[in-house]
Amino acid sequence: MTSSNDKTFQSEKGIHTDFLEKMTYGDYLGLDTLLNSQKRLSNHHDEMLFIIIHQVSELWLKLIIHETKAATQAIQSRDFQASFKMLARVSKIQSQIIQAWDVLSTLTPAEYMEFRDKLGNASGFQSYQYRLVEFVLGYKTPHILKIYEKNPELHQILKEAYHAPGLYDVSIQALAREGFQINKDILERDFSKTYQKDESVERAWQEVYKNVNDYWDLYQLAEKLVDIEDWFQQWRFRHMKTVERIIGHKKGTGGSSGVNYLKKVLDHYFFPELWEIRSTL
């Protein structure tokens, strides 16, 4: 007896079925490599969840880096419309990563303890892609680079990002190009230092928000930056609460203070002036 699915398939005369010498979907995506990259170190059922959640998050981080770097270059080239599309995409990606914590939070403390010791000192704290995201958003911490000295090629990539202007730096440069008086020390600052808020930058953004029609591109850029920071803070919060839910206040596998460390970074702002002006407008 022929099923309705078989009949539907047979009615599609153009569907390709001969792939002996053609590229398949799996070939294009490298699925053999991708789907064989989940190597459990224990026999516990839930370790698969733990691995996949982190691997999926790393793929999303890769796309965030790809889009944010391109948006940074677009802003430098004054192609604001292209940057807006890329930054809007980053915000949507962030929403996906946030929801991943809801899946991981189905892992109970008892279940995690069954394989946690197999992780050794491996920790999400060591995610180099997460550090690249922080660097491009302007949060630079020198001690972080030491973690990656084991891999010279990777260390060089991080070092270059560490010394490069971030997304907010090029946005401030865009303010200066539009004629706003920005502190010279900010425009010529050492980009390897974490950005600290500046009065001249705050005054410029205030003027943008007071005269939206005159500075429409800069206004849209500011709101895209706020979107990204908002989502990033939500990601940090969900990360912290998921860790607290699963391991409480134990130390992280990488040696950090765990929840206490995650709570501290919640207080950091990448784009401080854009939040300050909301109280002063």
Query: Of 212, 234, 214, nearest to 223 (Cα)?
Result: 212
Tokens of 116: 């946690």
2 annotated to bind ligand: no
Please state the separation of Cα 27 from the chain's center in Å: 27
Helix axes of 199-210 and 167-177: crossing angle, nearest 10 degrees: 70
54 annotated to bind ligand: yes
139 annotated to bind ligand: no
- CA 180/CA 218 separation, integer angstroms: 12
- CA 199/CA 209 separation, integer angstroms: 15
Q: Checking phi first, is residue 120 left (phi over 0); if not, alpha (psi -120 to 50) or beta?
A: left
Query: Of 204, 209, 206, nearest to 178 (Cα)?
Result: 204
Residue 138's alpha-carbon distances to 70, 89, 166, 195, 234, in angstroms, are: 16, 19, 5, 6, 18
- CA 120/CA 97 separation, integer angstroms: 25
155 annotated to bind ligand: no
116 annotated to bind ligand: yes
93 annotated to bind ligand: no
Distance separating the N- and C-terminal Cα atoms of the chain? 72
157 annotated to bind ligand: no
* Annotated binding-site ranges: 50-54, 112, 116, 239, 253
* Annotated binding-site ranges for heme: 239
* Annotated binding-site ranges for substrate: 50-54, 112, 116, 253
